[in-house]
Amino acid sequence: MNFNWNPSEALALAKEGCTQCRGFGLRKSSRTGLEIPCNCVFRSIFRACHRRFRYCASQEKHVSQARLEQVNGKENRQAWGIKDEEYMADFCLIARRFLDAPDYRIFRFHFLLGADWKLCCRRMRIQRGEFFHAVYRVQEKLGRVFRELKPYSLFPLDEYFGGAVRTPLPGTNRKVFDAPLNPRRRRLDPPLRKVA
């Protein structure tokens, strides 16, 4: 999947202490030399989607309601949907489709059923290190898929649940957001009021 990543989006999702991207979210590819998202960004995306999955699964059944939503396309129409249940189904089906059998077993036991690492290692007969490497691999694979899936991705969550769709900015406004930061510019500190 080819996808253009916004540096500010990758920066917001990056882990501050990451040794690969140094907290910037994008790193140089060793093969192509192009800037690609770091694995910490994909793990962050997966964790956000998994938190939302757990939230949807923990709600009482009477809380979810069918909602009438606007469907954009050639013909603007409305459709009924139950977003929480649809999201949980999409989350599980995407994982089943994109993970191989051993990774899907880890996903099912650890992320869906909530088994800790000791139980997973005993059940799957693997070592602790193998388990955590597999967990990171699952998070990275699914984080990439959740963000880059076409035509409708699971992440960002506000687009999935709110229906807002990102459109590219006109050419005149795009220059403002893509302007590089001046490293010599000092930080602007607001004046502080004296405390009595």
What tens digit of pLDDT does each residue of 51-70 get?
999 998 888 776 667 777 77
Domains, the chain: 7-161 (1.20.140)
pLDDT at residue 184, as a whole number: 57
What tens digit of pLDDT does each residue of 130-160 get?
999 999 999 999 999 999 888 878 888 878 7
pLDDT band at 19 (very low <50, low <70, confident <90, very high): confident
- Give the three-class secondary structure for 156: coil
**What stretch of H or E contains 190?**
none
CA distance 38 to 31: 14
CA distance 157 to 86: 13
